[in-house]
């Protein structure tokens, strides 16, 4: 399995040939799932005592397994938040896999860690964070939010120790009632509670609501979370007033920008994010709107030392690493072993430069605006809300959830697009999440035609 032979050479060539085909596939089919029974009938039996060989295994994947996975990079994939990696990023992901790099420590992965840090420093600058800000690429926004919140609680606990003050019976996180489900998930893992603050009529969290929650709960609150682009609507909280309320009480401010913070790359969008520069921690998912492959979340601390104090694992077998003054990414989040998952983004950024990223993000924002105007023009369709970023939520007048679901299934069966119903205030709605620079107005208008 490990020696280099004609057989291993053929295996690598065959796999790379498939990867090349897939990465450069011009009109990649959308594809879609089948039942477990159908896959069992068509694909079971691959794990045997003697192996089925590379040719058969590759063919099984290419012909049977891959076609039952959705192509998230298809321009018609508009559900949830799409992933549309640049070709450079995809190609470099193969290099990361081939290179056996341990991305957890400087000792083992110096060059890779350096390159990842170049990206994190650039992002921190875009978000207005001061020099010295830094972090780590983790698996996804859920792990990023959890890691940031663990650091926030650690800071609050240490402060209590220093002031010889008891910890509260229950620690609390203050966030918007529209915050992403991963905040509640993090709270559950941490065994803390969430105080949801109602949003304004515009769906945004404001500082006055946060201030009231902080006044009511005092020192039990260890973090305030503002969302830089909600998943369902792409709404950006009023971060400046939320930040002011948090700072007033010296509470950690975390910005969940998993989807939306990428929009800060577009100059005219920056005012909508005022206040991000005050954050103690932020996250953004490059696998969402920064054109990196699954899976990568950039977690950035204003003061990385606070992340380090909370997360560094200590053990006799790790002393060689932790007793050095090195920059060790493992020390900054809930993880130890890590793939240098920021490298595909680093490579693509290095190849293309930042201007192309700004333009690619801007495409989504402009297209959302154009298709929203088209929806408003069409009889029988109406916007639920004006888009702020690149998510457009709308309704087909008179349709029930069952109508939407049947339509969605037909759209996928026709291999035209993947759009699933969402809901807002109990009403089923439709939602386009536009990330892919290959998604066009014509494609979206064609989808609207099928709603007639």
Ligand X SMILES: *Cc1c(COP(=O)(O)O)cnc(C)c1O
Residues that bind ligand X (CB under 6 A): 81, 140-142, 145, 180, 182, 227, 231, 256, 258-259, 285, 297
In whole angstroms, the minimum distance from the beta carbon of 313 to ligand X comes to 22
Whole-number Å distance between alpha carbons of 344 and 346: 5
CB nearer to ligand X: give 81 or 300.
Answer: 81
Min separation Cβ 258 and ligand X, Å? 3
Position of minimal CB gap to ligand X: 141
d(CA 253, CA 220): 15
Say how far apart CA 119 and CA 298 lie, in whole Å: 9
Q: How far is the CB of 293 from ligand X (least distance, A)?
A: 13
Which is nearer to ligand X, 311 or 396 (by Cβ)?
311
Is residue 196 classed exposed, middle or buried when 0-12, 13-18 and 19+ CB atoms within 10 A define those classes?
middle
Task: Between 289 and 407, name the residue whose CB sits nearer to ligand X.
Answer: 289
Q: Please report how close the Cβ of residue 145 comes to ligand X at its closest, in angstroms.
A: 6
Q: Minimum distance between the CB of residue 180 and ligand X, rounded to whole angstroms?
A: 3
Instruction: Closer to ligand X by CB, 138 or 360: give it.
Output: 138
**What are the b/e assignments for 114-131, b being 16+ CB within 10 Å?**
ebbbebbbebbebbbbee
Closest distance to ligand X from the beta carbon of 64 (Å): 27
Q: Which among 144, 185, 149, 186 is positioned nearest to 341, based on CA atoms?
A: 144
Whichever of 81 and 89 has its CB closer to ligand X, that residue is 81
Pairwise CA distance, residues 170 & 75, whole Å: 46
Measured CA to CA, the distance from residue 104 to residue 88 in angstroms comes to: 24
Taking the complex as a whole, the smallest distance from the CB of residue 165 to ligand X amounts, in Å, to 32
Nearer Cβ to ligand X (71/232)? 232
In whole angstroms, give the CA distance from residue 51 to residue 45.
Answer: 10
Cβ proximity to ligand X: between 180 and 338 the closer is 180
Q: What crossing angle do the helices spanning 343-352 and 106-126 adopt, rounded to 10°?
A: 60
Rounded-to-integer distance, Cα 292 and Cα 280, Å: 25
From the CB of 284, what's the least distance to ligand X, in Å?
10
Helices (H) and strands (E) in the chain, counts: 16, 11
Q: By C-beta, is 272 or 448 nearer to ligand X? A: 272
| Smallest distance, ligand X to C-beta of residue 257, A | 7
User: Whole-angstrom Cα distance, residue 263 to residue 283?
Assistant: 13
d(C-alpha 105, C-alpha 180), whole Å: 31
Residue that has been written with the tokens 């950024």 in this structure? 349
Task: Please name the residue ranges forming H helices in 323-440.
Answer: 343-352, 354-377, 401-413
Contact 62, 18 (CB under 8 A): yes
Nearer to ligand X among residue 301 and residue 327 (C-beta): 301
Contact assessment for residue 388 and residue 235, using Cβ atoms and an 8 Å cutoff: yes
């Amino acid at each position: 399995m490990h020696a280099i032979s004609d057989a291993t050479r053929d295996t690598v060539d065959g796999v790379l040939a498939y990867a090349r085909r897939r990465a450069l596939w011009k009109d990649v089919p959308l594809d879609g799932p089948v039942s477990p029974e159908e896959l069992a009938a068509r694909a079971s039996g691959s794990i045997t005592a003697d192996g089925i060989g590379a040719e058969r295994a590759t063919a099984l994947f290419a012909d049977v397994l891959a076609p039952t996975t959705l192509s998230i990079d298809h321009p018609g994939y508009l559900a949830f938040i799409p992933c549309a990696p640049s070709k450079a990023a995809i190609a470099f992901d193969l290099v990361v896999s081939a290179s056996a790099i341990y991305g957890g420590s400087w000792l083992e992965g110096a060059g890779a860690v350096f390159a990842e840090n170049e990206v994190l420093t650039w992002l921190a600058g875009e978000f207005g964070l001061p020099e010295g800000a830094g972090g780590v690429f983790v698996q996804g926004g859920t792990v990023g939010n959890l890691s940031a919140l663990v650091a926030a609680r650690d800071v609050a606990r240490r402060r209590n120790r220093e002031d010889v003050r008891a910890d509260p019976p229950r620690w609390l996180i203050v966030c918007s009632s529209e915050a992403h489900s991963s905040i509640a998930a993090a709270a559950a893992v941490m065994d803390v509670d969430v105080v949801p603050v109602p949003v304004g009529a515009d769906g945004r969290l404001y500082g006055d609501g946060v201030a009231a929650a902080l006044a009511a709960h005092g020192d039990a609150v260890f973090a305030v979370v503002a969302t830089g682009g909600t998943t369902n609507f792409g709404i950006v909280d009023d971060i400046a007033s939320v930040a002011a309320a948090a700072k007033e009480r010296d509470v950690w401010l975390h910005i969940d920008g998993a989807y939306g913070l990428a929009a800060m790359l577009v100059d005219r969008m920056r005012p909508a994010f005022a206040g991000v520069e005050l954050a103690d921690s932020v996250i953004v998912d490059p696998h969402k709107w920064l054109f990196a492959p699954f899976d990568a979340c950039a977690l950035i601390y204003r003061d990385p030392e606070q992340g380090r104090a909370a997360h560094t694992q200590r053990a006799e077998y790790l002393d060689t690493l932790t007793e050095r003054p090195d920059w060790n990414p493992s020390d900054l989040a809930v993880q130890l072993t890590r793939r240098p998952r920021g490298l595909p983004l680093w490579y693509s950024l290095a190849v293309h430069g930042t201007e192309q990223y700004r333009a690619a993000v801007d495409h989504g924002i402009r297209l959302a605006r154009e298709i929203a105007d088209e929806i408003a023009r069409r009889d029988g369709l109406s916007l639920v809300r004006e888009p702020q970023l690149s998510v457009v939520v709308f309704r087909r007048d008179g349709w029930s959830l069952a109508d939407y679901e049947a339509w969605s299934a037909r759209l996928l069966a026709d291999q035209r697009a993947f759009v699933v119903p969402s809901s807002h205030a109990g009403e089923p709605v439709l939602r386009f999440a536009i990330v892919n620079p290959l998604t066009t107005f014509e494609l979206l208008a064609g989808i609207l035609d099928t709603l007639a």
